[in-house]
A = this chain, B = another copy of it.
């Protein structure tokens, strides 16, 4: 079969690789219908995060179950499924608490599972899914192709934006500022609206993304950054700053922007993998600004959101602004890297 491999900075290609097989009786094999490129993939693509030799890429996918191990009971061959960007057994104490990303048997696509087997990357034709019962979530039926982007967005990006809002504890009637206008930031705007925030301030300098931000529910757009940006947020937010700030980038500048934009007593939800982020405990202490967030436990949120997508009340797939066939995965990465695409959809 063919799968996406990153061999070094900007060296991404579709390789012929062995087909995956069931390794454990809790595994499933899924034929990938669609995958996508994540902002977090770009750190390694750009050489900003190290890769340890040729690496299978991709951690977001929807697909159809082909085969299941003998102990898999919640999905069967032919089921259409959405996968979270991490796998999890679904039964350990942390899964039961909704922190599937800290599952004692969990792991990430493209890495190794606890048994030492390769967990394939998602940007390929087939994928072995460890702990299929605890990982995959079937849809209510065979979805029309029109729903693919909305379902695929649940695999990571929408649930990650939602996790920022949940981690911050967004409440009805509040003012929320969102730092980052990538797919996660846009998703966080949509999530804050679903949680009935009153004012949603998108921090964005790109007209096309500002437009999408407004479509997703932003009531205000702030193009300024740094102190000027924070001053604009304060101005919009009653002169005191935003009740909640959702930090959806992961850089030190973005966290500083979030800290400056929050009001005393406010909360920051952060979901961008931190790169050179510093938190200042004395500032947090003096202003009573709390910080929570992390890697989103997508599986915890998946069931509800699949239902919402199915009934048509949630349409997070608009973050996909370009579609590529898997054959052109290199072009998809390039479009994301050059910021010509917010998020690239890969049709397998």
Contacts and interface: CB of A to CB of B under 8 A. Distances in A.
Contacts of A291: 279, 284, 290-292
A42 interface: no
6 contacts: A94-B263, A94-B264, A267-B292, A270-B281, A284-B293, A290-B291
A167 interface: yes
A97 B286 contact: no
A313 interface: no
Interface string A89-114: 00001100111011000000000000
Contacts of A292: 267, 284, 288-292
Contacts of A74: none
A282 interface: yes
B286 A295 contact: yes
A279 B263 CA distance: 20
B97 A265 contact: yes
A94 B240 contact: yes
A347 to B, nearest CB: 32
B167 A290 contact: yes
Contact of A99 (B97, B285, B288): B288
Most buried by B among A282, A285, A293, A295: A285
A281 B284 contact: no
A265 B99 contact: yes
Contacts of A290: 167, 290-293
Contacts of A286: 294-295
Interface string A167-198: 10100000000000000000000000000000
Interface in A251-309: 255, 263-265, 267, 270, 273-274, 277-279, 281-282, 284-295, 297
Given A97-B265, A289-B294, 8 more contacts: A94-B264, A94-B265, A285-B294, A285-B295, A289-B292, A290-B290, A290-B292, A291-B291
A81 to B, nearest CB: 24
A288 B279 contact: no
Contacts of A273: 285
Contacts of A284: 291-294
A167 B287 CA distance: 12
B274 A93 contact: no
B279 A285 contact: no
Contact of A281 (B94, B238, B255): B255
A338 to B, nearest CB: 27
A239 interface: yes
Contact of A265 (B98, B240, B255, B287): B98
Contact of A274 (B167, B263, B281, B295): B281
